[in-house]
Amino acid sequence: MTALIPTEATLPGRDQPLPLIDGHHVHGRHFMPPFADGLAQAIVGMGCFWGAERRFWQMAGVSNTQVGYMGGSTSNPSYKEVCTGATGHAEVVKVEFNPSIITYPELLIAFWQMHDPTTLNRQGNDIGTQYRSGIFYTSTEQKIIAMKSKEIYQHELDRLGFDLITTEILPAPDFWEAEEYHQRYLEKNPNGYDCHATTGVPFPIGLLSQEQSGSNV
C-alpha cells in the first residue's frame, strides 16, 4: 500500500502479544525494560529493518538493537499484517546505546546517510507505507535535535538538487516487537536480503553544535 489508510480502516489486531523470546540469540541480553542505567534509546524507520538493524549493531557504543513496528493503529501486529499496509505501521529499529561512546546526534547522522529520506513510502525496490522514513523521539531534547538534523540535511540536499525529505518526526507511540526470526535477521542469514538505498550525500557533520553532539538522550 502506497498511502496510509485511515485509522478506522486498519486491522483490529489482538489483545495478546505474539509469542516472543526475551533474550538476544547471541549475547542473551533482554529486550524488555527496565534497561541498564546509563543507556539511552533511539527509534528510527528507514525501510526494511533487516539491513537497517545490522548497520546499527555494527556501530561502537550500540549495546543492543531490536526490530519492530510503530506508527500505526493495530495492536500486536504480525509481520504479514504490517506488509499489507493495513495496520499503518512502519518497520523500525530500536537502538540501545551508551551516550558516553556514541551520541544521539551521531546516530541521526548515520540514519540520514544510511537511507534515502526523499522517497515517500519507499526504499529502493521496497514500496509501501511500512518502508517509510521516520524518527520517533522519546523526549523533547530528542525532538529538537531530530528537527535540527533534518533542517541541516535538507539544506545540503537542496544545494545538490535533491527532493524534499519525507521523514516523519513524531513522538514515539507504542512499539510492537517483531517476531523472533526478524531479530538480528542478517546475523542468522548473512547473505539475506539487504536493501541499501541512499542519496549518497554525506551529512555536514560540522554544522551540529558541540552542545548537541554531547547530548545524553
Residues 6+ apart with CB under 8 A from 171: 136, 137, 138, 143
Q: What span, in angstroms and rounded, lies between the C-alpha atoms of 104 and 75?
A: 28
Q: Please identify which of the residues 46, 48, 82, 152 carries the catalytic annotation.
A: 48
Establish whether 195 is a catalytic residue: no
Q: What span, in angstroms and rounded, lies between the C-alpha atoms of 42 and 114?
A: 15
CA-only gyration radius of the chain, Å: 17
Q: Which residue has the cell 483490529?
A: 12
DSSP 3-state of 216: coil
Annotated active-site positions, please? Answer: 48
